[in-house]
Amino acid sequence: MSTKDKEIRRLVISTVGTSLLTNQINSNKKSQSDWYFCLQDNANLTEKNLEKGSDIDKIIKSLKQSAETKLNEVNTIGIKEASAELNGIYGLYNDQLENGKLDHHVLITTDTAQGQVTANIVEKFLRDRKISVEVYTPEKLSTADNKVFNQGIDNLLDWLDRRVKEDKEKNYEIYFNLVGGFKALQGCMNTMGMFYADKIIYVFEGASSNLITIPRLPITVDYSRLTDHVPTLALLDAGAGLLPSKTKNIPEAMIAEIDGKMTISNWGQLIWNQCKDEFLSQKLQEFPRLSYDENRFPRDYNNISTAQEKVKLQETLAKVSGLLEESNGDTRDLVKSVSYSPYKGAKEKEVYHFYVGIHWRVSCKVSNGNLTLRYYGTHDYVEGKETN
């Protein structure tokens, strides 16, 4: 590895499977002959539901001890043979793990007992060698059933979008290490990598196989097809469940139906994450049950100086709109989500306000379950407009 390469700071995101455990099974031992099948049968068992002292609990603990012992006793080839995840990581550094001291690693694992144990072993191994590392388990990421898995992928996408943006700002290169991991998770991460990763790395089977690095493909999505659907997609992104009639013109791959309501799909979320900042930082969108005092609110919106602030405001408006739609205009549903409350000291009657993040406010009036938005800005600015 060249000096220049050593200076690169990477965020390395690795999918974690259970090969580190299964590789410790000695099928020649009669006592372990059915361990592999026992692990398979209990693959989706969470730590919470793992009965202490049960056969599967004893098997996992035994394999964990064997894996930890092996990783600390064997050489690099033995380590790579034992763990698919470490095989990819060692391959990234040409078997010189010390070359990763500037990088940060995140181990993505499912919400399963076996996945958690494996990730924790790999985490400790890297940390003991002074490699910066953490384990991340998206809530509900399990292959127990399709619905739960999709919810877990949604949570992973939310985290991934935020994390990659943050680390990109710190000049990290983003690497996806997809050597290990459950096949369903690998498949999803491979697609996500086409949008988020600078490079995706694989290793063919075997510790001596060469690393395969796939650069980001020049994928271009025709976002112009979404221009007419921005308010609807923002509502779906905010968690609103809409009637099928409200989404009939949106590309089918971007939406999914759950219990008769339309939501944004995993891949819809992926696409929306790539373009929402561009859409929501431009013109003020029209959302159901919201209207704008034409002499006040649009002016305040146009005076916003940063794209990020405009995006945050419009995402909040989408959340408010969605809650009003789903509650048929009941503003009580806004109280906890955006701290909706009467504006004390307002010179006009029945003026309310809600929060946009910590520092910003929107004042409004309510009529028949609809809000007319008046002013937007800091607390001092909105208070000055409404009370003076």
Please tell us whether the domain made up of 3-215 is placed in CATH 3.40.50.10770. yes
Helices and strands, number each (H, E), in the chain: 15, 13
Using CA atoms, how far apart are residues 35 and 192, in angstroms rounded to an integer? 34
- Return the pLDDT at 177: 96
Q: Where are the domains of the chain?
A: 3-215, 220-280, 291-388
Size (the chain), residues: 388
Using the predicted structure, report yes or no on whether residue 3 has a pLDDT greater than 50.
no
- Return the pLDDT at 148: 82
Using CA atoms, how far apart are residues 136 and 121, in angstroms rounded to an integer? 14
- 201-233 burial, b at 16+ Cβ within 10 Å, e below that, comes to bbbeeebeeebeeeeeeeeeeeeeebeebbbbb
Using the predicted structure, report yes or no on whether residue 28 has a pLDDT greater than 90.
no
CA 376 to chain centre: 30
Average pLDDT, the chain: 91
> Given this chain, do its domains 3-215 and 291-388 carry the same CATH topology?
no
Over residues 79-97, the mean pLDDT reads 93
Over residues 378-383, the mean pLDDT reads 95
Percentage of the chain lying above the pLDDT 70 cut:
97
Around Cβ 20, how many Cβ atoms within 10 Å? 28
Over residues 269-295, the mean pLDDT reads 95
Fold topology of 291-388: YaeB-like fold (3.30.2310)
Around Cβ 319, how many Cβ atoms within 10 Å? 22
Residue with more model confidence, 204 or 166: 166
Q: Rounded to whole angstroms, what are the CA distances from 27 to 20, 23, 215, 224, 314?
A: 15, 10, 39, 57, 58
Using CA atoms, how far apart are residues 102 and 80, in angstroms rounded to an integer? 21
- Return the pLDDT at 207: 54
Q: Which tens digit of pLDDT belongs to each residue from 323-361?
A: 999 999 999 999 999 999 999 989 999 999 999 999 999
Of 36-50, 202-216, 286-300, give the range with the top mean pLDDT.
286-300
Tell me the pTM. Answer: 0.78
- Return the pLDDT at 27: 75
Using CA atoms, how far apart are residues 8 and 15, in angstroms rounded to an integer? 22
Over residues 265-294, the mean pLDDT reads 94
Using CA atoms, how far apart are residues 37 and 252, in angstroms rounded to an integer? 39
Residue with tokens 């943050």: 166
- Return the pLDDT at 208: 59
